[in-house]
């Protein structure tokens, strides 16, 4: 006889293997052509037999197409002429496997396709891949690409590099093809980081000299974005007189500097790269963060480092993040593998992925979108181990040991 309350007893069973098994089953259906109810045709004419439900689950584009009152709702084949065979195949495989291979060769095409078909997570992964590979030689193109495809993180990071390292950026090949609107946007930013206005003027000279006939009329407008005292009447008159002459860099430079009411050597400084002082030691470990802002010429205090009891750590920056790696406990000289990350834009700390090897007195540097930890000490002895952190994969990976511990 059942005891009191027996009827109310319930057991909620959840099969943790079910999601993977369910996906694997749909993958098998796709490979075998079972239960498929829609075909996709790429630019080359290749056909992919798929399931509406699987596509709609991954893409709001397909969900809307198959549910809204559109003619495609009843069609058995959808033509996608803007997508190559390789890109469409990769996205379809992602729908059935949750995995997609992103490389330098295919990332922009994948992002464009993911943006078009609204594969949100794939677009985000491609965006993070591009952020990981940003540099001074591609940040201009990436900034325009990010604006067009509404990639906020890529737009912000490419803009940061573009403005912060402008004195390197304007010497790159892609700077020569930049449009007038984009150049004006860059030069008018308050946080454009140049040691002297002369660097911004030299960038304008190089830009105009690359296409004199097409850009000679834009000199005054572009220069107006730079905060210099300029004799516009003289410059416009000189340009009109020499419009038909073939001007080179030196002639354009002479015209511009003659129009300046200031001596070029006396042009104002406008460096905007902030300086961060993290922690340190004064009779005991310090955890303060101090920031010097060149625009206000003042020090401000940031959020303190959460870990108060360590010293001799490595510090390096990557984008807006400052990485504090390793170190040792003051009271025990215990080597640490811990990592703390300070985001300079949000003024906040987060704990990062621990290093593979604990170390202190080591070298920490950033290179090609990664953080490297080299050598150092452990238990009072120098170590040879070296490793790097890939923020895209969010893990530390070993590299060849140093020849000798340092």
What pLDDT does residue 99 have? 95
User: E strand or H helix at 300, and its extent?
Assistant: strand 298-302
Kindly provide the residue ranges of all beta strands, DSSP E only, lying in 7-101, ordered along the sequence: 38-41, 47-50, 77-79
Give the domain-ending residue among 266, 301, 317: 266
Backbone angles phi, psi at 194, to 5 degrees: -130, 140
User: Of 54, 71, 99, which residue sits at a domain end?
Assistant: 99
Determine the structural domain holding residue 304 and report its residue range.
275-399
Q: pLDDT digits over 201-224, tens only?
A: 889 889 988 888 888 888 888 888
Residue 133 lies in a domain: no
CATH code for the domain in which residue 47 is found: 3.30.710.10
Residue 107 within any structural domain of the chain: no
Angle between helices 180-187 and 139-148 (to 10 degrees): 110
**Which residues, listed in sequence order, are joined to residue 298 by a DSSP beta bridge?**
293
Contact indicator for 353, 395 with CB cutoff of 8 Å: yes
Same domain, 283 and 393: yes
Report the first-to-last Cα separation within the chain, whole angstroms. 77
Written as six digits, the tokens of 58 are 């991954």
The residue assigned the tokens 């790696």 is 325
Read off the tokens for 113.
């396709």
Take residue 95 and report the two structure tokens written for it: 């729908």
Domain containing 306 — which CATH number?
2.120.10.80
395 and 315 in a common domain = yes
Same domain for 257 and 285, yes or no, is no
Measured CA to CA, the distance from residue 81 to residue 127 in angstroms comes to 23
Q: For residue range 296-333, what is the model confidence (pLDDT) as tens digits?
A: 788 999 999 988 788 899 999 998 899 999 999 888 88
Residues 292 and 257 in one domain: no
What three-state secondary structure class fits 318? strand
Per-residue confidence (pLDDT) for residue 332, from 0 to 100? 81
If phi > 0 it is left, if psi is from -120 to 50 it is alpha, else beta; for residue 36 that is: beta
Does the residue 335 lie in any domain?
yes
Low-confidence residues of the chain: pLDDT under 70: 1-6, 70, 72-73, 229-232, 234, 238-246, 261-272
| E strands, 165-297, in order | 275-281, 285-293
Residue-level pLDDT at 133: 92
- Do residue 287 and residue 259 come from a single domain? no
Number of domains in the chain: 3
């Amino acid at each position: 006889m059942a005891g009191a309350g027996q009827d109310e007893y319930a057991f909620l069973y959840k099969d943790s293997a079910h999601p993977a098994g369910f996906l694997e089953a749909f993958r098998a259906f796709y490979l075998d052509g079972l239960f498929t109810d829609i075909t996709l045709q790429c630019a080359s004419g290749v056909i992919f037999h798929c399931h509406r439900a699987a596509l709609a689950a991954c893409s709001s584009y397909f969900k809307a197409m198959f549910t809204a009152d559109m003619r495609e709702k009843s069609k058995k084949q959808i033509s996608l002429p803007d997508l190559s065979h390789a890109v469409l195949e990769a996205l379809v495989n992602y729908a059935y496997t949750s995995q997609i291979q992103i490389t330098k060769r295919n990332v922009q095409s994948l992002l464009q396709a993911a943006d078009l078909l609204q594969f949100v997570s794939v677009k985000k992964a491609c965006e993070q891949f591009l952020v990981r590979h940003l540099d001074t030689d591609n940040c201009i193109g990436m900034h325009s690409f990010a604006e067009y495809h509404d990639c906020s993180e890529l737009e912000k990071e490419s803009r940061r590099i573009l403005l912060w390292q402008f004195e390197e950026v304007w010497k790159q090949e892609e700077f020569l093809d930049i449009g007038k609107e984009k150049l004006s946007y860059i030069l008018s930013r308050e946080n454009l980081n140049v040691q002297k206005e002369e660097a911004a003027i030299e960038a304008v000279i190089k830009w105009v000299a690359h296409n004199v006939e097409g850009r000679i009329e834009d000199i005054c407008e572009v220069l107006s974005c730079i905060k210099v005292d300029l004799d516009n009447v003289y410059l416009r008159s000189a340009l009109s007189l020499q419009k038909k002459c073939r001007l080179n860099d030196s002639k354009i430079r002479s015209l511009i500097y003659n129009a300046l009411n200031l001596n070029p050597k006396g042009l104002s400084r406008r460096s905007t790269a902030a300086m961060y002082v993290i922690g340190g030691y004064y009779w005991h470990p310090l955890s303060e963060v101090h920031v010097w802002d060149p625009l206000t010429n003042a020090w401000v205090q940031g959020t303190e480092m959460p870990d108060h009891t360590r010293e001799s750590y490595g510090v390096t920056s990557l984008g807006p993040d400052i990485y504090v790696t390793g170190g040792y406990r003051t009271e025990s000289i215990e080597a640490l593998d811990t990592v703390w990350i300070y985001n300079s834009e949000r003024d906040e700390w987060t704990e990062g992925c621990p290093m593979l090897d604990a170390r202190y007195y080591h070298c920490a540097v950033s290179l090609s979108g990664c953080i490297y930890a080299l050598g150092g000490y452990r238990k009072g002895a120098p170590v040879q181990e070296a490793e790097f952190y890939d923020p895209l994969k969010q893990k530390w990976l070993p590299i060849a040991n140093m020849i000798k511990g340092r």
